[in-house]
Amino acid sequence: MTSTHPSVSLRSLCEPLWNKKVPQRLTERTEAHGGIRAAEKWRYKKSPISFTFLQTGGYRSMKKIVVAVTGSSGSIYAKVLFDKLADLRAQWDAVGVVLSDNARINWELEIGPMDLGAYPFDFYEKNDFYAPFASGSAQYDTMLVCPCSMGTLARIATGLSNDLATRAADVILKERRRLILVPRDTPLSLIHINNMKTVTEAGGIICPASPSFYSRPKTLEDVAATVVDRVLDLAGFSLKSYRWGEK
Ligand SMILES: Cc1cc2nc3c(=O)[nH]c(=O)nc-3n(C[C@H](O)[C@H](O)[C@H](O)COP(=O)(O)O)c2cc1C
């Protein structure tokens, strides 16, 4: 008999069913894939109900993200994005990163020696078409290009796909998933503007590297965060950020 008493949770009603059906496989997969999050995901896939909700007491969206860093000025945007994504580790399943040659050059010029070893991401070579997100079947759901050069913007707008970053963007668009570009250049030519229009019409989001100042940012990182936080908002992350009008 089903109780409607408020202290009897949906989880406690469903748990026996799941324990009965899948205990061994669930345990194996939990160990093999690094803990309870894998188990939650597996349950979520198999169940018509959101077991992620049941496990955590609230909905949590797990994401597979591609980050491309390209050769425009503004490597600090990429660095702040990396730092924040590392802090948001509980909210994603995989972050695959690809950097162009000029992204590396600009990082060294603007920030200093590149030390990416500490980040919990998967790094791929710029022409590695064996990277999972070179195909739609790997089901990466969001791609961020930050910062995005006008060259990469143009290659995405024309579907050129001649390196991993532009192929991944092509895949994200064809699969109707979320593509967020953070272009940086000034002033803009009509070619740049038309390319932004084309990407927008194809479903991408142009989120220019145009910082805001009403939060009175104190450091360069704070300034960059006014852009990066908007990017992470658009990507669906839950994060603490300055919110206009909030007390
Ligand atoms: C120091 C430096 C700064 C650059 N800044 C910009 C920029 O702000 N915006 C831009 O679109 N391209 C900029 N470029 C040019 C791009 O790096 C170049 O067009 C490159 O081919 C882009 O390719 P990628 O997108 O694969 O990195 C800059 C290049 C250098 C060396």
Together in a domain, 206 and 103? yes
Together in a domain, 94 and 117? yes
Q: E strands within the chain? A: 63-69, 92-99, 122-124, 142-148, 178-183, 205-206
- Residues of 151-180 as b/e, b for ≥16 C-beta within 10 angstroms? ebbbbbbeeebebbbbbbbbbbbebebbbb
Q: Give the tens place of pLDDT for each residue, 89-127.
A: 999 999 999 999 999 999 999 999 999 999 999 999 999
pLDDT above 50 for 60? no
Domain that holds residue 20: 11-56
pLDDT above 70 for 41? no
Between the CA of 231 and the centroid of ligand 1 the distance, in Å, is: 20
73 pocket-lining for ligand 1 (C-beta < 6 Å): yes
For residue 43, tell me if it sits in a domain. yes
Together in a domain, 48 and 67? no
Together in a domain, 114 and 89? yes
Together in a domain, 109 and 39? no
Q: Are 235 and 65 in contact (CB under 8 A)?
A: yes
Number of domains in the chain: 2
Exposed, middle or buried by CB within 10 Å (0-12, 13-18, 19+), for 213?
A: exposed
96 pocket-lining for ligand 1 (C-beta < 6 Å): no
Q: Are 116 and 79 in contact (CB under 8 A)?
A: no
Supply the residue whose CA is at minimum distance from atom 16 of ligand 1: 71
Between the CA of 243 and the centroid of ligand 1 the distance, in Å, is: 32
Between the CA of 148 and the centroid of ligand 1 the distance, in Å, is: 9
CA dist 220 and 209 (Å) reads 13
Please state, for a pLDDT cut of 90, what percent of the chain lies above it.
74
Between the CA of 201 and the centroid of ligand 1 the distance, in Å, is: 24
Q: Give the tens place of pLDDT for each residue, 171-182.
A: 999 999 999 999
208 pocket-lining for ligand 1 (C-beta < 6 Å): no
Together in a domain, 178 and 131? yes
Together in a domain, 39 and 156? no
pTM comes to 0.79
Domain finish residue from 56, 71, 86: 56
For residue 243, tell me if it sits in a domain. no
For residue 2, tell me if it sits in a domain. no
